[in-house]
């Protein structure tokens, strides 16, 4: 099962998104940490290893209700916050990228 594991001080929650056996306690030993969720930032920050989540769901892991909502929100947030790289400039020759050494006197 993939669910949230609470971390952080009292009244300052911070969560790990973990792969854990269904019978274990909420903060019990997990199989793997696949992300983090911090609801205290504005907007809430979600860091997620999508490839690992997809791997575990292909192996039969179920997502908790809250994690399913976070996974659905995460791709849109990651795509919006990641700037596109600038287009490659073709004006510079490819071989002259290293600076030339200076002569010591």
- pTM for this entry: 0.66
Per-residue pLDDT, 33: 92
Q: Which CATH architecture has domain 2-80?
A: 2-Layer Sandwich (3.30)
Nearest-CA neighbor of 21 among 52, 54, 56?
Answer: 56
User: Residues 6 or more apart from 5 whose CB is under 8 A from it?
Assistant: 15, 16, 17, 18, 20, 26, 27, 30
Sequence ranges of the domains in the chain: 2-80
Nearest-CA neighbor of 29 among 45, 16, 44?
Answer: 16
* pLDDT tens-digit series, residues 60-74: 989 999 999 988 887
In the predicted model, is pLDDT for residue 81 greater than 90?
no
Joined together, the tokens standing for residue 51 give 């490839």
* pLDDT tens-digit series, residues 18-27: 998 888 887 7
Nearest-CA neighbor of 46 among 12, 8, 75?
Answer: 75
Per-residue pLDDT, 44: 87
**Could you give the CA distance from residue 20 to residue 37 in angstroms, rounded to a whole number?**
16
Per-residue pLDDT, 40: 92
């Amino acid at each position: 099962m993939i669910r949230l594991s609470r971390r952080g001080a009292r009244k300052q929650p911070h969560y790990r998104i973990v792969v854990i056996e269904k019978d274990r306690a909420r903060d019990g030993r997990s199989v793997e940490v696949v992300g983090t969720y911090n609801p205290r930032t504005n907007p809430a920050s979600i860091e997620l290893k999508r490839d690992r989540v997809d791997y575990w769901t292909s192996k039969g892991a179920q997502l908790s209700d809250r994690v399913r909502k976070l996974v659905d929100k995460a791709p849109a947030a990651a795509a919006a916050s990641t700037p596109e790289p600038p287009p490659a400039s073709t004006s510079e020759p490819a071989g002259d990228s290293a600076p030339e050494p200076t002569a010591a006197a």
